[in-house]
Chains A and B, each alone.
Chain A
Amino acid sequence: MFAIQLSTWLWTPASRAGVVASRLVAVIATTAAITLLGTRITHINATTIGFAYLVGVLVVATRWGFAEALLSSFLAVLCFNFFFLPPVGTFNIVHPQNWVALFAFLATSVIASQLSARAKQRTQEALDRQKEMERLYALSRAILLADASDSPAKRIADRIREIFDFPALALYDCTTGQIHRSGPVDLPDIDDTLRRVSEQEKRISDSARNLTVIPIHLSGRPIGSLAISGVTLSDPALQALSNLVAVTLEKVRGQEAANRAEAARQSQELKSTLLDALAHEFKTPLTAIKAATTELLSSPVAGAEEQRELITIVDEEADRLGRLVTEAIQMARIEAGKIQLKTGLYSVEALISPALQQMNSMTEGRTVSVNISGDLPLIAADQELMRMALHQLLDNALKYSPPGSPIAVTAEKAQLHVIISVSDQGPGIRAQERSRIFEKFYRSPGTPQNVTGAGMGLAIALEIARAHGGNIQVENNPAGGAKFSIAIPVGEEEGTT
């Protein structure tokens, strides 16, 4: 036991010479311990001590291996002869019976060492296979469960290297033609080999460089190849590794194709939603114009008053169409991420009133109260874009609150911002929807089907506010209804007016 403990303790230093020396010491110590036991502590007969030596040899064999056990056997034979076989104290053997005993002992211990060393080797191999399996399993989990990333092949290469602890690795993906390297050691001049292995589907081993290149293919189709330096894996494990990489890369390809199809479908859907909404927005003024002009053309008896009324409508609706076209163009620009601010200094009234005027023909007798606190500074803003943003908030309030209910517009200063708010008395916005309503094309699932719009309004308003260095927030009023607040920073130079 002493010897085993000693050797375990000595095993920790990693150097090869240290290992050999410590085992040598341990083998000698084991034999010495048994010899001491037989000569000094108790007096036992030669047969019994022979068995004791044999046990020592077996322990060494199972612990370390055949070489150590062989050494131990010869030491034991020498000690057995010297200390126990008469004449004791010499290496001479007088009685032929003792020769037989000595050789029987030597043969037994050598054969037993060999058997137990072989058993130990088998165990070690099984442990290695088990470790390979565990690593392959860990790898399959790591790469199959990983989130989609920009470069899945690179990610696979990194994971294999980390989990198997290879010094260097290169993965060739023949779909993209890219080679992904991983590891602290570089693999130079490997590119051609990788391509050749992938095409020929034949493994190459270069023992001089300690390099293995395996093909990766799935159902007869080449997918790529994998070069690994410092391979310690068994053939089945390498094959499993190759299959795992093949399946993963295939899965990634499939996923990418599905994503592209889904993106195309969504963009198609968005386009048609947008077109529907645009069609409705444009058709409303067109309907009024068409109805009025056809009436004017067909009705020779129409009175002057009727004519004037109809022409006024045509005039107003033509303006509205013009605004819609401008807005559609702005919308397209904002969509494309190109907002150009034509900034001027405006009072808050000058920013709010164009939006209110535009809403006039749509508020239908609703009360729109405006409450602007007295001490507001001028704001550096693009008047046209601010009109659009406020129009979207007002339009939203009109659409999503009951007909006839009042709408309140307030403006106040809060530290470095001027905050313009639009409050309605509709159902308000549920907490979980508050961030989503600013997404493009998002429309609340509760939106009645006949509320028109493309789900662009709030997204546009937010883009405009951000272009001004501001933001839009939504909350629910304590008394009910939603309150949208657009915050625009007060510039330093105009903060003092």
Chain B
Amino acid sequence: MSAGRILVVDDEPQIRRVMRTSLVTRGYEAAEARSGEEALEKTRAGRYDLVLLDINMPGMGGLEACRAIRSGSDVAIIMLTVRNAEEDKVEALDAGADDYVTKPFGTPELLARIRAALRRAPVPSDAGPQRIHLEETEIDFPSRRVSVRGRQTRLTPKEFDLLRFLVTHPNKTIPHRELLQAVWGPEYGEELEYLRVFINQLRKKIEPNPAKPKYLLTDPWVGYRFALPKQD
């Protein structure tokens, strides 16, 4: 019984070697891919719990591979980036990654992020409503399905956890730090760009007009709030 199946995608064989060694020692099952294309094939063919995806690869780069994997799967994705610039992180998260690690990284940090990504938010699945009807949006929590005006989308696990946490505390502003720690894990707290990106993605999926949100509201400098209309 493995702790999880992880796909390591990096064009640098030595980096794959280190990660494979560490992961196998921790009881994970590790598979490797040398390029974005190969990663895409493998995630389509097999079932993985998490993908470690390098951003700088020849051919199809990490960002494009991330978007492609995300379009067909809700597997957890951690991006490995070289540059530590804000725009690169946002770009990675926008492409559908759940988290990122900047190279060079310490293995303990990477392992902690892997655990965080694999951990589901500590909200009991039967807590809160199973199904929410908003004006034109319908959210079904057990199947993680959202339909807006009849258009069906699925939430990724992190999006699902985030929305679920907000919905179980309706009409109350949740501070950034609390939200990050509840959804990502106790090591997090400062990564405001995560919230910005994920809230944006959620708005695109559940708001009738994402530019003028009605449900997922921002309280500037404080946090986010889910405005739940009176349920019948």
Interface window among A203-211, A265-273, A448-456: A448-456
A306, A402, A452: the one contacting B56 at CB < 8 Å is A452
| B194-232 with Cβ < 8 A to chain A | none
Contact B59–A402 (Cβ < 8 Å):
yes
B59, B62, B107: the one contacting A291 at CB < 8 Å is B107
Complex: chain A residue closest to B35, CB-CB:
A403
B15, B35, B56, B58: the one contacting A288 at CB < 8 Å is B15
CA distance A361 to B34 in the complex (A): 13
B18, B24, B25, B59: the one contacting A448 at CB < 8 Å is B59
| A363-412 with Cβ < 8 A to chain B | 364, 399, 402-403
Complex: chain A residue closest to B20, CB-CB:
A309
Say what secondary structure dominates the interface of chain A: helix
Contact B17–A284 (Cβ < 8 Å):
no
B57 interface residue (CB < 8 Å to A)? yes
CA distance A450 to B61 in the complex (A): 6
B150 interface residue (CB < 8 Å to A)? no
Interface window among A89-97, A235-243, A310-318, A344-352: A310-318
A286 interface residue (CB < 8 Å to B)? yes
Contact B15–A362 (Cβ < 8 Å):
no
Instruction: Report A-chain residues with C-beta under 8 Å of the C-beta of B12.
Output: 284, 287-288
Contact A290–B104 (Cβ < 8 Å):
yes
B100-111: CB near A (< 8 Å → 1, else 0) gives 000111111110
Complex: chain A residue closest to B24, CB-CB:
A306
Contact A449–B61 (Cβ < 8 Å):
yes
Contact B22–A295 (Cβ < 8 Å):
yes
CA distance A402 to B17 in the complex (A): 22
Interface window among A51-59, A113-121, A162-170, A297-305: A297-305
List the interface of chain A (C-beta within 8 A of B).
Answer: 279-280, 283-292, 294-295, 298-299, 301-303, 306, 309-310, 313, 316-317, 320, 361-362, 364, 399, 402-403, 448-452
Q: Contacts A279-B82, A313-B17, A403-B59 given; 13 further ones with Cβ under 8 A?
A: A290-B105, A291-B19, A291-B104, A291-B110, A309-B21, A310-B21, A362-B13, A403-B34, A448-B58, A448-B61, A450-B58, A450-B62, A451-B58
Top 10 A-B pairs ranked by shortest CB distance? A294-B106, A450-B61, A295-B107, A290-B104, A287-B104, A287-B103, A288-B14, A291-B18, A294-B107, A286-B104
